[in-house]
Amino acid sequence: MSLDIFKRDLSDKKKRVSGITKEQINSELAANGYPGLYIETDIHLKFSNSTITIGEEVLPISGMTLIETVKILREHGVSAYLTRNSVGMLPAELLLDFDNKIVFTEEVDVSPKNIDEMHNKNILNVPGLEESSITKTILSVSSSSRNIIYKTDDSTFSYQVDDNRLFINGLLEDTTAMIEYEIDKFFIFMNTENVIELNKLLRSDMKNINNRILMNDINSNNWDKV
């Protein structure tokens, strides 16, 4: 005799559906993108939503070409180059988001841990994946159950860095390291299907009254227009 079993959820609570993030979109676009700019700099540089943050200064580049973007970068002490002449007149809005200085965490399951093995996805922007273009600094080591401190001796639940290796005394299964990841030679990729968060783009240049009008006109929260 066959026994048919039917499965039914006991809870009527709706499952949460995760939305698509800008970071996920950027990853997809980068996979099918191509290098537009090549940059060498030790300045903190961030491309985001057609703006460039150079140190503490935020500069809108919407409406500009790549060659105009290179000019702005050079005026601010950044060595920037077109990857080829044919991209020079393309719009800067095609440039994908990138930050050459970030902080991320990584699980550590062995001691010593070779710091050269700790990488973020930003390495894909580094020509030839060259380690010499990347500076990695261990900011802290932590666990949910123990306080792991920096020490140069062999104290239990402590860590130290020596000869590009991370040593952890009293390694726990949930040990993670916080790493500062800085790149000084990198490509900025571009894609004709780039997505820009309009509110962040316009916020960077709100002196322009036309931008404020445009934001109001296209915002779906304006129910009188729906």
Strands (E), the chain: 34-40, 45-48, 51-54, 57-60, 79-82, 98-99, 101-107, 113-114, 134-142, 149-150, 158-162, 165-169, 176-183, 185-190
Better-predicted residue by pLDDT, 27 or 89: 89
Using one digit for the tens of pLDDT, what is the confidence trace for 195-205?
A: 565 555 555 55
Residues 116 and 61 in one domain: no
Q: Kindly report the backbone phi and psi dihedral angles of residue 42, in degrees, each rounded to the nearest multiple of 5, phi listed first.
A: -105, 10
State the pLDDT at residue 54. 95
How many domains does the chain contain in total? 2
Residue 30: pLDDT band with limits 50, 70, 90: low
State the pLDDT at residue 50. 86
Residues 168 and 154 in one domain: yes
Using one digit for the tens of pLDDT, what is the confidence trace for 110-157?
A: 999 999 999 988 999 999 999 999 999 999 998 888 888 888 766 788
Name the nearest CA neighbour of 182 among 107, 127, 126, 140. 126
Is pLDDT at 13 greater than 70 in this prediction?
A: no
Residues 36 and 86 in one domain: yes
Q: Where in the sequence is the domain holding 170, given as residue range(s)?
A: 104-183
For residue 36 the two structure tokens come to 């537009």
Residue 62: pLDDT band with limits 50, 70, 90: confident
For residue 77, the 8-state DSSP code is: T
Q: Does residue 93 belong to any structural domain of this protein?
A: yes
Residues 111 and 164 in one domain: yes
Whole-structure pTM value: 0.73
Whether residue 83 contacts residue 180, with contact meaning beta carbons closer than 8 Å, is answered with no
Residues 95 and 108 in one domain: no
Residues 157 and 211 in one domain: no
